[in-house]
């Protein structure tokens, strides 16, 4: 004989499915946010007039946004930092003399 406040087995199964669907929805939303932060998905379209440069203006995607160009830019930055460090070292050496 079932207890007075007991939930039938079918309803417990339905509650479990709903909990799993809620968990999947939360994970999907979190993944979407992370992908947008890393720029892997298209951002929502912003409507702006052509030529407007206000805070809500949509910017055209840059042609140099590929990973290969990012690596090249990082190497160029590294080279310029090394040159600046050498120049700074030479200035320090000249000041000490």
Distance CA 49, CA 66 (A): 27
Distance CA 8, CA 70 (A): 59
Residues 28-56: tens digit of each pLDDT: 999 998 888 887 665 555 555 555 555 55
Within a domain: 91: yes
Model confidence, pTM: 0.35
Within a domain: 48: no
Contact yes or no for 41/35 (Cβ under 8 A): yes
For the chain, what's the residue count?
Answer: 97
Domain interval for residue 75:
65-97
Query: Highest mean pLDDT: which of 1-10, 37-46, 55-64, 83-92?
Result: 83-92
Query: Which residue is listed with tokens 């055209």?
Result: 60
Within a domain: 32: yes
Within a domain: 77: yes
Within a domain: 28: yes
Sign of the CA dihedral with 86 first, then 87, 88, and 92 last: positive
Look over the chain and give the mean of its residue pLDDT values, rounded to a whole number: 77
How many domains are there within the chain? 2
Distance CA 57, CA 54 (A): 5
């Amino acid at each position: 004989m079932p207890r007075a406040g007991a939930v039938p087995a079918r309803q417990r199964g339905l509650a479990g499915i709903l909990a799993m669907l809620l968990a999947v929805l939360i994970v999907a939303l979190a993944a979407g946010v992370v992908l947008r932060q890393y720029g892997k998905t298209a951002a929502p379209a912003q409507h702006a007039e052509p030529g407007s440069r206000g805070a809500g203006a949509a910017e055209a995607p840059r042609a140099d946004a590929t990973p290969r160009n990012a690596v090249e830019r990082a190497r160029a930055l590294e080279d310029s930092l090394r040159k600046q460090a050498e120049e700074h070292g030479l200035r320090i050496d000249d000041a000490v003399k």
